[in-house]
Amino acid sequence: MLIRRELPGDKSAIRRVHADAFAPHYQGEPPVEPQLVDDLRASGAISTLCP
């Protein structure tokens, strides 16, 4: 398995993976994790570009 750093075009797919992964825990409510990851990315806590 090859794991690479996130690229700018990956944002929507990463958001979808988090939404799908955590949705079963929220029973009809949208999960908070996709927004949390977006907020961490915006704050610089998650690097979005390859070095």
Residue with tokens 């070095």: 51
Higher pLDDT, 4 or 30: 30
Q: Give 32-48 pLDDT, tens digit per residue.
A: 999 999 999 889 887 65
Whether the predicted model's global pTM rises above the 0.95 cut:
no
Whether pLDDT at 50 is above 80: no
